[in-house]
Each structure stands twice: as structure tokens, then as C-alpha cells.
Structure 1
Amino acid sequence: MNSDAVKVGIDRAPHRSLFKALGLTDREINKPLIGIVNSFNEFVPGHMHLRQIAEAVKAGVRENGGTPLEFSTIGVCDGIAMGHVGMHFSLASRELITDSIEIMARAHAVDALVFIPSCDKIVPGMLMAAMRLNLPSIVVSGGPMLPGRHEGKNVDFITVYEGVGKVYSGQESQEWLQGLEQNACPTCGSCAGMFTANSMNCLTEVIGMALPGNGTIPAVYSERIRLAKETGYQVMNLLRDNIRPRDIVTSTSIRNGVAADMALGCSTNTILHLPAIAFEGEIEFDLAEINAISDRTPQICKLSPAVNGHYLVEVNEAGGISAVLKSLLDAGLIDGSGMTVSGSTMAERLSSAVVKNPSVIRPLTDPYSAKGGLCVLFGNLAPEGAVIKVGALANRDIVFEGAAKVYDGEDLAAEAIRSGVIKEGDVVIIRYEGPKGGPGMREMLGPTATLAGMGLDSSVALLTDGRFSGGSRGLSIGHISPEAALGGEIAFVENGDMVRIDLEKRTIDWLLPESEKAERRNSFDPKKGLEKVYKVAGRTGYLGRYVQFAQSANKGAAFRTVKEE
């Protein structure tokens, strides 16, 4: 179906009258109708400038023969939602974004779509909608924030969170922290490091759904406006050539995305969103394949939140994501045969890309690490997998064994960390924070950043069936599957149990005799933890419905499909 369904023929005279009520001329109505999906709001710094980006997109659409019609989506700022009930809604908003776009596009019979996201869940939510609808589509984000400066050093949003830990540990004063918060986030845009938003905007470029520069051109640069105009222009070419998202996003381009993820050291949340995008496109995604890709893909960028990491603006100046991809392509680490929204193959698009600063984008012969920035751990504590951002660790070959301190929820664990209960060598387990048990799989930036600020990020392991912010670092292992609420092994661990993590072997094991494990399983109350779910989610609100449909983290927490009778 295209827009002729709402504008052509005698029967559509009433429809045309409504378009004319919008001020559209017959010429505009007769052109293709292009949906401009804008996630602007006044809560999110990454989205506060998206009206300007949308106007630039519209200009490009009009220049190339289309009629742009804008509509909005919701967008949650993870930073503002962090550490309170709001974080239950962050991941859950992704599916709502996807559904709302589907409703608007189908109800109004648009011919093509331009997506304008910026931050964490909005980017994958829009990509999931693109895969579901399979209309000619293209993405242009709002771009990354510039880093701030404080006491002669580059700082960002995560620096403030880690500063909280320094105040709690007595290393810094509250006055120092106030100065830091004044300077950490100096511009609009998605937070300056390789956190989840910028990770997903870079990977959108990698999988072929955005023009070069989408992931790295800073939000405040005029080049970002020019990119938006080119994006609006290009969507019309995609429409004429009938190039659709499922022609671009394939198993090959998803693997390219994982390879780039490894080279860049992206957020662990990418391993939540890529499976969900693949799920919408009916593409098989095997979590175990991530380790195989990581084994052969060196990490050639080290970006904040890694210690002494670079920022996205520096990657942009060094040649951008295209330069990273060209290095991988020349080494045979990605496949350049796939189509992109540029209307050319990835190899053709990268033909002139060069690395301009080898200290930011290192040569493959001198990587930060011979293996990629993320890995998946398996073992009896996580039989369906768990994820860690090894690229943010100073030592990637850690074997860590310690006694568990178990907390049923983030709030109890955060209080234990702040009060000094957690000591060097502990294994902190935070459970009932998965997609169902959370509900909503909250990010836990507070606990990880506080540990980092206290200097415990490499000497305390933090394990959860929830997830971490893209700004987290240290021995932070998330997405443990199955989650506690589904009776996963993490539900049966008790204080004092020994846990062993071997990053070289990529294992995570609960060291307890099998007979005792079986006894605990037999005495397990499946209703444990549900009290929190019902208290937070209620039984009639959106979270209550979300709990019914969200799948496990190893499936991207995507909604399960409705089974046919």
C-alpha cells in the first residue's frame, strides 16, 4: 500500500479535503508523502535541537520531489530516568516507540520514512519499526554532544556519576562535585562518549541505514544540518529505486555491525538491541556468534567510558565510522557487498575513506587489543549468556573468584555500596532486574559508577540479570539469562556462595555442589520477586502489559509474537 490509498480517486475526496485543511496544495498532495518521525522533546538534551534537524530533513525531501509530513514519538532520557522508578520505563519505551510508528505509518499510508532519533532506546525502536514496516527508510540522528572541560580535563555525564562515588569515599567535596556538574554536559546532543546512544547511532551507519557521518558529526556542527538535508533528499531516491530496509539490514550487515561494535568497544546494550532489530526483520541472531566475531576483530578505538578514552568528536576528526569500516574491510573483517541507504554497496561507499589520526583509530597492526571490546560469557550461572564490556577494562584476562553478596534489586545494592558494606574481592549480585523481574531491565549506572569512583571497579565484580549503562565500566556483567524471575540459576545464589569469572575462557560459574543446587531449586518459590513487579508495574498500566510479552535478554527483550491457535 502507498499514499494513493488515501488520495487518489473519487472516493478519496473526503481524504483530500482533510489534507487541504492542513494547508497542502494539490501539487503537494500528488507528490509522495514522506513521514518524518521526530523524537523531539524538551526533556532530553540529545533531542532538544531536533526541530532544526527535522526542518533540514523536510527541505531535502521537498528539493527531491516529496511532501514531508512530521509526526512524533516519545523519548526517555536514561540519565534523568536513572536511579528511580523512571528507569523501569526506559527499555520498555522501545517497543512503544516501534508500535506508535507502525500505527502512524499504516494509518496514514505514507510512502517512505525518515527517522530522527538521538538517544538510547529511540534509535533501536525506530530501526525495529523500519524492519517491521519495510517501507523505504533512512535514519539521521541528532549527533553526539561535545565533551565538557573541568580542571583542565575532558569530562562528560559519566564523570559526574563517578564523581558521586568520589564524594561518598571522601576523595572529593560536594563543592568540587557542583563545579563538575556545571561543566560536564556543555551542548545539546547524545552524551559525548561511546555510551548506548552513540553506539547505536554508529551501528546504524554500519548496518547501512544512515549516511556516513551519522554516528560522529557533533550535534552543534552545521555539518549535521547539511547531513539532515542530504538524508531527506536521499529518501526520495530510495523510494524511486524501491530500496527497503530488509534489502539493507540482513544477516551480513548485522554481522558487520557486531564486528564494528568489537572494533569500537561499544555499549553492552548493543547486544540487547541488535537481536531485537534482527527479530523484527526475521533474521536469525545467535548470541554465541558474537564471541567468534570478537576473536577475529581487534579493538582499534578506545572511547570514554574506558579510562583515558577518546570522544566521538575525535573519531569524527579521525575519519569517522567510515575510516573504521575501511580498516576492517581491507582486512576482510566485514563484508562490503551489502546495499546501503547511499544507494551503493558498503564497499563502494568506503572507497575513499581514510584514517586521519592513527592515535584515535589505530591500525590493525597496533590495536588496543587483539580481540573485540565486548564478549559473551556462558556457564552454569548464565547458561543462555551474559555480556561484559571487556574493552573498558585495563586487564582483559582477569580470573576473578569471590564470595557473593546478593541483593534482590538495585536499590538495596546501591545502598550497600554507598555505606561501605561492599569490599574488595566481593561478587555483588543484583537480581530480579531482568525484563520481567525488573520490570523493564533497569540500567544500573549508579552502582557501577559509584564503585568506579571509589576505586573498586576492578576489584569488585557486579553481576545482574538487569543491564548496565553504556557509560559503565569495570567488572560489570549484565544480561544474565535466564533471569531470576524465570527461575534462572541467579535466583538460587545465596550470600557467601563462591562465583568464578574467567574472562579468557569466557565463563561464569556458580561454585556449589550440584546436590545443594538441586535442593535450592526444589524449594524455590516462583512467586518470589513478583511482589516488586506488581508494586512497580501495577496490573493495568503499560509496564503490566510489558511484563506479559517481554522475552529474555538473550532474545533482545523483544516482545514475543502472538501464537496462532
Structure 2
Amino acid sequence: MSTRSENLTQGVTRAPHRSLLKALGFVDEEMGRPIIGIANSFNEIIPGHVHLKNVVQAVKDGIRNAGGVPIEFNTIGICDGLAMNHIGMKYSLVTRNIIADSIEATAMATPFDAMVFIPNCDKVVPGMLIAAARLNIPSVFVSGGAMLAGVHKGKKIGLSDVFEAVGKHQTGEMDDAELNVIENNACPTCGSCSGMYTANTMNCLTEALGMGLPGNGTIPAVYSERLRLAKLAGMQAVAVLKAGLKPKDVMTREAFENAVAVDMALGGSSNTALHLPAIAHEAGVSLTLDDFDAIAAKTPQLSKLSPSGIYFIEDLYAAGGVSAVMKRLAENGRLHTDAQTVALKTQGEITAAAVVVDEDVIHPWDNPVHETGGIAVLKGNLAEDGSVVKAGAVDPEMQVHSGPAKVFNNEEDAVDAIMAGKIVKGDVVVIRYEGPKGGPGMREMLTPTSVITGMGLGKDVALITDGRFSGATRGASIGHVSPEAAQGGTIAVVQDGDIINIDIPKGKLEVALSDEEIAKRKAALPPFKSTITGYLKKYALHVSSAAQGAIEILED
């Protein structure tokens, strides 16, 4: 069987290539072995990535154990928490493209036989999955694992609690000393932040897609089991190469439906409504917001994890992990059990061996946390193409809400108003021109939502935006409003005092204006002009709407 790496190692004409490999330390005996590329996202910026040198070493050991030769390279990553609430967040989503492009370029220029991908945080996981689909060479994913939760006053806490503590401090409910204690204890270890935020949601869904081994989504970063999993992933990369299993064989329509079902059962981050369609697009699979809506309607939410619950990823791990959640789905006809995985077993074979250890964390099917999935799609005259809300994290009092709009053209102005006490019970905060094109980059709105919650307004104030929300967000926070303001969507013509009607159970998001009034206002709307420069300008020129996953659109 011919291999990609023969373009580096075999024949007289490859003597220069072999010479360069020998400059790296290769010996002749390695020239005929499979070369396994390792896409590593280690850096000293992100807590979820700072320990990945240890993970990659375990992967290399596994590859050598199985008779392969590892070659490591790095890609970029930014920390969404550090980028939050300033211009840096405009660069978060755009790195998904940069990560995918850089890996594609490296792996095409260096013909690896197979690959191991080592992501951990928000945009790195989907960026790497997009790259795997593009390259379509045998691949295995192993994440860096989740951070352990912190503890404050006997209660587990995570990063979202620090953001909410800022709101409590603002109202005088919390003093400087307690805020400092929470700040010092909320993020106690390396790893992706400890709740069911975007990073951990995507790591869990990588497992549900079949691209990661069982345990990928939930084994804590600091456990030795994480290193053992990494070693097994290295060995498995050689095994999937021998089996000829490629990413597009795994990431099928059925696999994406499995991932969305697991997402609904876990009450995962609303960012999955951007990432899964984008990954599916690269895999040649159509996945839309309507698919999310349909799967949510028949998949109950079985787990309520931080930020909306008291449990964390470490608790999901102890309860049986993603495999146990999938077992619940399989037992109730909500899983494609014949879907293939990089474990070289079907999902049915994996779930058959799984055990639900704690039913407080993974509820029984007949006693769910929420009767429908954790994410809801809302449509109406304010979001004709759709919007997304983490329904399982919305208080019952806010599932249906009507209130006057308080309109802001950027996140900073909204935060200033919230902190100044200008937002009152019943208001609907509207933040626009933060979409994929208008932001550009579709910033996450964790600061305003967390401050609203921390100030005690979480059950009384809604927030809607054409931007998006962190996986750490909870409350009536509706994002991805499409069409966005920069494309002339209705959100661009909403004015202070307009009544916004939200009905999550019925999937409705509307402004109480006639079609004629909306048309009149749109006709008077000046064209959107951006003054952005650099990479963001390039991004804005080619990005699709959020309803399409904010994918890159390139003309033929």
C-alpha cells in the first residue's frame, strides 16, 4: 500500500528530502515507517493549553509504541476569557479559520500518513475538526482535558462565577476581599474552564462525532488518565491508518445528528450552532438550525451543568462521561448506534459497555432536567433566518417575556449602561452590529450577561444580539440573530421602547411592529460602513451569516 509519506522517504529523487529529515534526527530505519503528524495547540496564553507539552509527549510515545514516527507542529490559539469585553474578542471566532488554514497548509506541504490533533479550547477544537475534514487523512483527536472546579464557601465554582461576582460587587452585595478570594480560587488547575462552556462542549461533541476516544470530553486535565488516553490516541492513529478509516468516513450525517443529540442532552454551549454546521460543511454534510430545532424537540436535556447548574465536567466524568449520556440516548432510540468511530468500534458497541453512575448528574430519560433539548432556535420578524438561546439555562420566569428595548450599537456601550444602573426589570437589552460582518468577528457577550445576572436581574432582563454568547452565559440571552444588523436585518431598525416579544417554548422572537413600519424603517437605514482594517477586514468580506455557521464563502 502506497503512503503519503513516500513523497518524503522513498526513491532516489527523495534523497534531498531524506537528508532534511536526517537533519531532524531521523534514522534510516524510520524512513519506511508511517509518519504521523501531530497538530498541537500548546501555548502559554491559555490555561487549557499550557500543559499540552506533557500531552503531546504521551501521544508521541503512543505513536512510537505502535511503530509510527511522530512529527509535531503547532498552531495558534487565544483565550476567550482573556479576550472578553475588548477588541480582542473580535479575533476569537476568526481564529477558527486561521487554525484550519494553517493545519491544512502544513499537512499538505508535509505529507503525513495520519494525524493526531491536540486541541482544547473554544475555536481550536472546531478549527482542527474543519482541518481534519478538509485533509481527510486518518486522524484521531485527544483534547487536553477539563480544569477542575474551584471551591468557595463549600460550593464548587468556575470562571462564570467570577464574571457574575463582578455584578454582585457592583451592587454592593460583595466586597473587595470576597471578590479577590473568588478570583484566586475559581480556576485552580490547568485545563479548559471547568463548566459545560464552549471548550468542554466541543470536546464532548468530538467524542460524540466519533473523532475522539471515549473519555476525550470529560477526563480532567490533571488526571494521569488523561496522559494514558493521549498515549492510546497516538497508538490509535496508527491503527486507523492501517484500517484506512478517514474523517469523512466518521463525520457522516448520522454522526452529526448524534453530536447534536448529545449537545441537547448535555445543555451545551449555544456556540455549537455555529461550529457543528461549519464542520459539517467541510465534511460535505448539510446541517442547519432547522436540524438543531428538530432534534431538540425530541431530545430531553438530561444534565444541568455549570453555568446553569451545580455540577461541573469533573462530575460528568465521575457519572460515566459522554458514553453514559449516549447510552441514555441509545436506549431510547435517539442515537445512530451503527455510526463508526476512531476507536474502530461503533457507537453502539461503546455505549453497550457504558454505565450511568450518578443519576443526579445524568438524569433518567423519564425524569429529565428539561423536556426538550438544551438549545432552542427562535425565529420571527426579528430573526427571520433564526437565532439561538441556551434554553436549558433560562429561568422559568423568562421563558416567555415581553419588554421594551434598550438599544446599543456595541457591547461596550451596553456594559456601561448596565453598570450605571440604566437597565431595569422588564427591559430587553439589544446589542447590534456585533455579528460576523458587523463586529466583525461576532464577539461573545459574557460580560453583560454575567453582570446582569450578578446584579440580580437575571430573572427580569433579557438580552438579544446579532453577536454570540460564551458557553459560560446563562439567562435569557438570545444570540446569532440573523440577518444581522450589518446586512440590514430587522435588528438594525429596532428603537428604544419598541416591545420585544420572546417565547422560547414556541420558538418565537418578534418585535411588535407592523411589516409596513419595518419596511419603512429599513428603507431609511443608511448603508453599513466598516472602518476595520487588517485580517478582520478580510474576514468580514468572506464570512457568511451566523445562520450558516459563519463559514467562509469564497467565489469560484
Using structure 1 for the length normalisation, give the TM-score: 0.97
Range moving further from structure 2, 121-130 or 510-519:
510-519
Aligned residue runs from structure 1 range 470-509, under 5 A? 470-509=471-510
CA drift at 1:515: 2.0
SS in structure 2 opposite 1:288?
helix
SS in structure 1 opposite 2:47?
coil
Task: Find the partner of 1:14 among 3, 12, 16.
Answer: 16
Distance 2:55 2:115 in 1: 15
SS in structure 2 opposite 1:258?
helix
Counterpart of 2:63 in structure 1 is 61
Task: Find the partner of 2:540 among 511, 526, 547.
Answer: 547
SS in structure 2 opposite 1:293?
helix
Residue 455 (1) aligns with residue 479 (2)? no
Counterpart of 1:52 in structure 2 is 54
Counterpart of 2:420 in structure 1 is 419
Assess, with a 3 A threshold, how the Cα gap between structure 1 residues 183 and 397 changes in structure 2: closer, same or farther: closer
Counterpart of 1:176 in structure 2 is 178
Counterpart of 2:446 in structure 1 is 445
Counterpart of 1:372 in structure 2 is 373
CA drift at 1:155: 0.9
Q: Which amino acid in 1 is paired with 2:542?
A: F
Partners of 1:204 and 1:210 within 8 A in 2: yes
Counterpart of 1:209 in structure 2 is 211
SS in structure 1 opposite 2:91?
helix
Distance 2:53 2:387 in 1: 38
Distance 2:126 2:457 in 1: 32
CA drift at 1:513: 2.1
SS in structure 2 opposite 1:424?
coil
Aligned residue runs from structure 1 range 96-107, under 5 A? 96-107=98-109
Partners of 1:390 and 1:396 within 8 A in 2: no
Q: Which amino acid in 1 is paired with 2:340?
A: M
SS in structure 2 opposite 1:218?
coil
Task: Find the partner of 2:169 among 167, 181, 187.
Answer: 167
CA drift at 1:392: 1.0
Partners of 2:377 and 2:388 within 8 A in 1: yes
Counterpart of 2:190 in structure 1 is 188
Distance 1:139 1:289 in 2: 25
Counterpart of 2:27 in structure 1 is 25
Q: Which amino acid in 2 is paired with 1:287?
A: L
CA drift at 1:295: 1.3
Deviation digits for residues 271-305 of structure 1, max 9, x if unmatched?
11001001111111121121221111111100000
Deviation digits for residues 379-398 of structure 1, max 9, x if unmatched?
01001000000111231872
CA drift at 1:9: 1.1
Partners of 2:398 and 2:476 within 8 A in 1: no
CA drift at 1:375: 0.6
Counterpart of 2:330 in structure 1 is 329
- Structure 2 gaps, min length 5: none
Task: Find the partner of 1:158 among 154, 160, 168.
Answer: 160
Aligned residue runs from structure 1 range 315-326, under 5 A? 315-326=316-327
Pairs aligned (count): 554
Deviation digits for residues 351-388 of structure 1, max 9, x if unmatched?
11110111111110111111111110010100100000
Partners of 1:407 and 1:413 within 8 A in 2: yes
SS in structure 1 opposite 2:468?
coil
Distance 1:102 1:55 in 2: 22
Q: What is the RMSD of the two structures over their aligned residues, measured on CA atoms?
A: 1.0
Residue 386 (1) aligns with residue 378 (2)? no
Partners of 1:336 and 1:346 within 8 A in 2: yes
Task: Find the partner of 2:550 among 529, 539, 557.
Answer: 557
SS in structure 1 opposite 2:179?
helix
Distance 2:59 2:514 in 1: 61
Residue 360 (1) aligns with residue 361 (2)? yes
Counterpart of 2:131 in structure 1 is 129
Distance 2:394 2:523 in 1: 38
CA drift at 1:543: 1.1
Distance 2:256 2:266 in 1: 15
Deviation digits for residues 473-505 of structure 1, max 9, x if unmatched?
001000000111111111111111111011111
Partners of 2:397 and 2:459 within 8 A in 1: no
Assess, with a 3 A threshold, how the Cα gap between structure 1 residues 396 and 322 changes in structure 2: closer, same or farther: farther
Distance 1:376 1:458 in 2: 20
CA drift at 1:334: 1.1
Partners of 1:397 and 1:504 within 8 A in 2: no
SS in structure 2 opposite 1:20?
helix
